[in-house]
C-alpha cells in the first residue's frame, strides 16, 4: 500500500510539471507590427527535382545530381555507374548521362542501345 502511494505521488509530481500553464487569450498584433513565426527545422529532407525536368534529351544533367522524383515516388535515388575515370553515369528510363554532361535518350531499352553500351564499355575501361 505504501509503495502504491509513493508511485501515485511521483506520478502526480511529474504530471504537474507537464501541464499547460494558464492560457492567456491570443492577442492580435497592433497594426503596423508583424508577428514572427519560429523558423522550420533545418534538418528537413532535401527536395529533388521532377524527373521530367531533369531527364530531357539534350539537357545538361546537374553536376550535383542526387536523384529525381515522379508524382508517385522517388524514381531515381542518385545511384550511378562509377567509371574508371572517376565520372559517374546516371540512368533513368531510356535516358543516360554523366554528371554535368548532356542527357541522351536511347532508341529503346538501355541494355539494347548500342550507344549506351559503348559508353558503358568506355566507362569501365
- Domain assignment present for residue 44? The answer is no
- Domain assignment present for residue 39? The answer is no
Over residues 83-103, mean pLDDT = 94
Q: Are 78 and 90 in contact (CB under 8 A)?
A: yes
- Provide the Cα torsion 50, 110, 107, 117; round to 10°: 130
Could you give the CA distance from residue 38 to residue 29 in angstroms, rounded to a whole number?
Answer: 16
Q: How confident is the model at residue 79 (pLDDT cuts 50, 70, 90)?
A: confident
- Domain assignment present for residue 29? The answer is no
Over residues 99-114, mean pLDDT = 95
- Domain assignment present for residue 41? The answer is no
Residue 91, SS3 per DSSP: strand
- Domain assignment present for residue 42? The answer is no
Instruction: Give me the domain span that covers residue 110.
Output: 51-124
- Domain assignment present for residue 89? The answer is yes
Over residues 5-13, mean pLDDT = 34
- Domain assignment present for residue 56? The answer is yes
Could you give the CA distance from residue 78 to residue 101 in angstroms, rounded to a whole number?
Answer: 15
- Domain assignment present for residue 12? The answer is no
The predicted pLDDT at position 40 comes to 52
Q: With a cut of 80, say whether residue 85 has pLDDT above it.
A: yes
Overall number of domains in the chain: 1
Amino acid at each position: 500500500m505504501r509503495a502504491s502511494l509513493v508511485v501515485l505521488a511521483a506520478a502526480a509530481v511529474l504530471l504537474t510539471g507537464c501541464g499547460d500553464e494558464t492560457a492567456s487569450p491570443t492577442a492580435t498584433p497592433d497594426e503596423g507590427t508583424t508577428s514572427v513565426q519560429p523558423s522550420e527545422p533545418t534538418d528537413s529532407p532535401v527536395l529533388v527535382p521532377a524527373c521530367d525536368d531533369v531527364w530531357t534529351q539534350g539537357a545538361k544533367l546537374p553536376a550535383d545530381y542526387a536523384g529525381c522524383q515522379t508524382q508517385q515516388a522517388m524514381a531515381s535515388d542518385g545511384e550511378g555507374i562509377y567509371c574508371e575515370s572517376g565520372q559517374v553515369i546516371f540512368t533513368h528510363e531510356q535516358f543516360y548521362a554523366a554528371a554535368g554532361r548532356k542527357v541522351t535518350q536511347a532508341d529503346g531499352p538501355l541494355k539494347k542501345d548500342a550507344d549506351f553500351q559503348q559508353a558503358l564499355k568506355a566507362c569501365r575501361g
